[in-house]
């Protein structure tokens, strides 16, 4: 597909030509089906605030039907019984279809989430295709393992698919987030029911057609869209679900745990973050500054690994804050389909108001806005890049995830204080450190309680690199060899010879 240059033309192409080709009904048992009720979800374009689609809201009966299809496909269908190479071939075909339709999928994802189109096309959609290819290859390595044993006994560890998986996807990275879960689950031989995010479901419904075209057996992948309290609860509480994989808020993870606790399924969660980025005087300050700008304000701050807490050594504090403020003020906000846009809108009005409420509360508690702390410019759902100083480490905004383009800056005297501030959080997803001292970097890395530390870089993701957090940022890992392990169970077989 040829993509026009102008934002208005791209939006028109997405709404008038690409979106009408997407079947927005639940995808169950390999076909699109009607829902049991007439409740409808309205989907809006964050760039304009206007409604662009209405789709049927899956009810409990619809979810149970999807789980039934996945259960039958696992218990009776060919998928778990195919060789890893055969499953891998399906994943490779799916990756090829995603690459073939990369532009169309990116138009939908950008329209739905408000994320800049160029980045979505190159990263979100491109990374998803790479992930399916990676796990197609990795599937062939999940083999049985022989263990040493006494004479006369043969001990083998078998790796088997865990079963039917409930996959609940976040609205900020719906297409890529789904790939991080679907690819390892399918490679392992599991079947899945995906609950697409009600705020941004379009690209996953488009994925359904590619799944069918790639030749996956019916019921292996099922996709429904509904609100969490109804569809989500019905999915995670269904006794036929063997495992749950969830990306989203810590509060929702608690609700999922409560709803499924009676049967104690394994749950992999990738939750919120309150990333700390520590900058030392000996760092390459230009690189640190550029990474901080991208880490704090990229994707409009709607990113669990956002660099929302910036720790700056007192010796460089004033100059670094001044430079960061200048960059924030010059950041180009605009339409997500405009290639000049560096920061698009927030996902919707409710989220925009939640961000502003947290910022205003921080200001009332004594924080100072070096810049930003304003909404409504240049569009109805934009929030200005915000730099806050004089923020107490005990303040609510220092601990709660803002999920917006807001960075709080804290001065520190030495490495010990930087580590203390970084660990002063109930989250533990990621952190970064900027220094040319190997000793400083190593001690910071060893001391911070997070799942990932970036040293003199930020936001480095690849399909083969595990990702996940500790503390309230979740448990389990996605991507890499650890990612497929979450969807496999080990069976020990002891055989007398």
CATH number of the domain enclosing 52? 3.40.605.10
Question: Is the separation of the CB atoms in 192 and 163 below 8 Å?
Answer: no
- Per-residue model confidence as pLDDT tens digits over 37-78: 678 999 999 999 999 999 999 999 999 999 999 999 999 999
Residue 304 annotated to the active site: yes
Which one of 90, 165, 177, 304 is the catalytic residue? 304
DSSP type of residue 435: -
pLDDT of residue 145: 87
Q: What angle do CA 425, 365, 298 make, to 5 degrees?
A: 55
Are 188 and 293 found together in one domain? no
Q: Residue 35 pLDDT more than 90?
A: no
Q: Residue 455 pLDDT more than 90?
A: yes
Q: How many CB atoms lie within 10 A of CB 49?
A: 14
Confidence at 224, pLDDT banded by 50, 70, 90: very high
Q: Residue 143 pLDDT more than 80?
A: no
- Per-residue model confidence as pLDDT tens digits over 260-305: 999 999 999 999 999 999 999 999 999 999 999 999 999 999 999 9
Are 17 and 67 found together in one domain? yes
Tell me, what CATH number does 291's domain have?
3.40.309.10
Region 231-244: what's the mean pLDDT? 97
H helix runs in 117-275, sequence order: 117-119, 126-138, 174-188, 202-214, 233-236, 250-260
Are 295 and 166 found together in one domain? no
469 falls within a domain: no
Mean pLDDT of the chain: 96
Are 245 and 292 found together in one domain? no
Are 384 and 365 found together in one domain? yes
Residue 325 parent element (H or E)? helix 317-330
Q: Residue 208 pLDDT more than 90?
A: yes
Are 55 and 142 found together in one domain? yes
Confidence at 373, pLDDT banded by 50, 70, 90: very high
Q: Residue 141 pLDDT more than 80?
A: no
pLDDT of residue 17: 97
> 375: which residues sit within 8 A by CB, 6+ positions away?
352, 355, 356, 382, 383, 384
Residue 99 annotated to the active site: no
Whole-number Å distance between alpha carbons of 120 and 402: 22
Confidence at 115, pLDDT banded by 50, 70, 90: very high
pLDDT of residue 140: 81
* pLDDT over 90 percentage in the chain: 94
Confidence at 319, pLDDT banded by 50, 70, 90: very high
Q: Residue 312 pLDDT more than 90?
A: yes
> What is the DSSP code string of 330-372?
H--B--TT-TT-SB---S-HHHHHHHHHHHHHHHHTT-EEEE-
467 falls within a domain: no
Domain that holds residue 457: 276-462
Are 424 and 341 found together in one domain? yes
Domain count, the chain: 2
C-alpha dist (Å) from residue 192 to 64, 83, 162, 204, 216: 13, 18, 11, 13, 12
Region of 172 (left: φ > 0; alpha: ψ -120 to 50; beta: rest) is alpha
Whole-number Å distance between alpha carbons of 292 and 376: 24
Are 219 and 280 found together in one domain? no
Are 172 and 205 found together in one domain? yes
413 falls within a domain: yes
Q: pTM of the predicted model, to two decimals?
A: 0.96
Q: Residue 240 pLDDT more than 80?
A: yes
H helix runs in 101-172, sequence order: 102-113, 117-119, 126-138
Whole-number Å distance between alpha carbons of 113 and 300: 11
Whole-number Å distance between alpha carbons of 227 and 136: 32
Are 293 and 413 found together in one domain? yes
Are 267 and 280 found together in one domain? no
Confidence at 1, pLDDT banded by 50, 70, 90: confident
Q: Residue 376 pLDDT more than 90?
A: no
468 falls within a domain: no
Distance of CA 120 to the CA centre of its chain: 13
Which one of 104, 109, 198, 270 is the catalytic residue? 270
């Amino acid at each position: 597909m040829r993509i026009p240059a102008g934002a208005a033309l791209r939006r028109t192409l997405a709404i008038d030509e690409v979106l009408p080709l997407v079947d927005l009904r639940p995808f169950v048992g390999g076909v699109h089906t009607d829902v049991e009720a007439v409740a409808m979800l309205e989907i809006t374009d964050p760039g304009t605030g206007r409604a662009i689609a209405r789709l049927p809201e899956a009810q409990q009966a619809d979810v149970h039907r999807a789980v039934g299809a996945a259960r039958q496909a696992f218990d009776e269908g060919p998928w778990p019984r195919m060789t890893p190479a055969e499953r891998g071939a399906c994943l490779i075909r799916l990756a090829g279809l995603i690459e073939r339709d990369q532009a169309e999928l990116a138009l939908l994802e950008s329209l739905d989430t408000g994320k800049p189109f160029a980045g979505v096309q190159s990263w979100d959609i491109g990374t998803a295709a790479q992930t399916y290819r990676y796990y197609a290859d990795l599937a062939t390595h999940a083999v049985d393992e022989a263990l040493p044993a006494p004479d006369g006994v043969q001990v083998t560890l078998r790796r088997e698919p865990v079963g039917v998986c409930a996959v609940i996807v976040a609205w900020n990275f719906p297409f890529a987030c789904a790939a991080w879960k679907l690819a390892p689950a399918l490679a392992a031989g599991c079947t899945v029911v995906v609950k697409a995010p009600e705020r941004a479901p379009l690209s996953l419904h488009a994925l359904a057609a590619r799944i069918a075209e790639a030749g996956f057996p019916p019921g292996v992948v099922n996709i429904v869209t509904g609100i969490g309290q109804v569809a989500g609860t019905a999915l995670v509480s269904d006794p036929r679900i063997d495992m749950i994989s969830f990306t989203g808020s810590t509060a929702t993870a608690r609700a999922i745990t409560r709803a499924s606790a009676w049967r104690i399924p394994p749950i992999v969660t990738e939750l919120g973050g309150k990333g700390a980025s520590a900058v030392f005087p000996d760092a390459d300050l230009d690189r640190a500054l550029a990474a901080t700008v991208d880490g704090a304000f990229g994707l409009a701050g709607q990113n669990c690994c956002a660099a929302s807490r910036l720790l700056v050594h007192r010796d460089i504090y004033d100059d670094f804050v001044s430079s960061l403020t200048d960059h924030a003020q010059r950041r180009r906000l605009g339409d997500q389909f405009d290639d000049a846009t560096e920061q698009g809108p927030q996902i919707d009005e409710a989220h925009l108001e939640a961000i502003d409420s947290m910022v205003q509360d921080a200001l009332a508690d004594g924080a100072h806005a070096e810049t930003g702390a304003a909404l409504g410019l240049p569009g109805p759902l934009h929030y200005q890049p915000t730099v806050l100083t004089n923020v107490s480490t005990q303040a609510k905004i220092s601990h709660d995830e803002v999920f917006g383009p807001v960075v709080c800056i804290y001065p520190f005297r030495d490495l010990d204080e930087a580590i203390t501030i970084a660990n002063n959080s109930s989250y533990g997803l990621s952190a970064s450190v900027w220094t040319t001292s190997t000793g400083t970097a190593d001690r910071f890395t060893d001391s911070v309680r997070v799942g990932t530390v970036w040293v003199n870089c930020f936001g480095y993701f690849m399909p083969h690199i595990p990702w996940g957090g500790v503390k309230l940022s979740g448990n389990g890992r996605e991507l890499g060899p650890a990612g497929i392990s979450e969807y496999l169970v080990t069976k020990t077989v002891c055989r007398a010879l």
